[in-house]
Amino acid sequence: MAGNATSQQIDEFISLFDSPLDAVKTIAAHVRSSRRELSQKGTQNTRDTPVIVSMEHVSRSYKVGKQSIMALNDVSLSINEGEIVAITGASGSGKSTLLQMIGCLDKPTQGQIMIDGKDPSRLSDGKLSELRQKTIGFVFQSFYLQPFLKLDQNVSVPAMFARTPIRDIDLAVTSLLEQVGINEYRQHFPKELSGGQIQRAAIARALINQPKIILADEPTGNLDSTNGNAIIELFKKIRSDFGTTVIIVTHDEHIAQQADRIIVLKDGAIL
């Protein structure tokens, strides 16, 4: 929040949380994040880390009958390569719409989006599909593994759509399942696995095409706190090993605090 925030802005910020204490904890997380940035000044910042996601004055409205609903309202932001960013806010604040925009699953009504130096609105359908396949990996709360496919087959699906050679797919699947810690379950069906194991498989699937960006929509929402923390640690490992940018939509304050940066939305706008 801005240093000269008005009392109304402060009240609006606090209203996003279940209690004032939760709001204080989130502010504390922002302070810790700022301190980390200051402590890294002259090292990380001097490398001039490239911006991988940029949004300039982006708005998105929908027609519901005769009514116009503003899902995003004049949003501007930038996310650097290798960042872990949490997007938070109350239900209906625009979090999922923002994620869909970054994932090139929807187009803005106004404004410009740049993903890895490309403007999705200027791409053909084929090039847009290629951008999604090669640059972006998706992880969802509901996992979306195919129940009739074994674990290794589920993980390989995006690579098959990208027409990766079978031998390369097999090697990548084995490597990823080892890295997420579930290679011994590769011949199991999803119904034979725990929620945490299934989410790890979903993360491996999102990584199969070596994307630069992982978009995670409530990735810990169906998990207990122990498994949820383990998934966040896995995202940190992925960032460390691959330099992947991770963008997480979450209602979980504890999960958000572990990100490098928190973006808070209310009524489609960034607070």
Domain with residue 170: its CATH number is: 3.40.50.300
Residue 55, domain member (yes or no):
no
pLDDT at residue 14 tops 70: no
Q: How high does pLDDT run on average in the chain? A: 86
Q: Is residue 172 located within the same domain as residue 260? A: yes
Closest CA relative to residue 132, chosen from 148, 116, 147, 143: 116
Closest CA relative to residue 73, chosen from 231, 209, 265: 265
Q: Is residue 152 located within the same domain as residue 198? A: yes
Q: Is residue 216 located within the same domain as residue 168? A: yes
Q: Is residue 150 located within the same domain as residue 199? A: yes
Residues 81 and 32: their CA atoms lie apart, in Å, by 20
Q: Is residue 147 located within the same domain as residue 253? A: yes
Residue 232, domain member (yes or no):
yes
Residue 253, domain member (yes or no):
yes
Mean pLDDT score, 200-218: 94
Residues 218 and 233: their CA atoms lie apart, in Å, by 15
- Please state, for a pLDDT cut of 70, what percent of the chain lies above it: 82
Residue 142, domain member (yes or no):
yes
Q: Is residue 142 located within the same domain as residue 234? A: yes
Residue 137 — φ and ψ, nearest 5°? -115, 140
Residue 112, domain member (yes or no):
no
Q: Is residue 264 located within the same domain as residue 176? A: yes
The total number of structural domains in the chain stands at 2
Q: Is residue 37 located within the same domain as residue 148? A: no
- 249 CB-contact burial (10 Å; exposed 0-12 / middle 13-18 / buried 19+): buried
Q: Read off the pTM.
A: 0.80
- Domain range enclosing 6: 1-48
Residue 229's identity, in one-letter code, is N
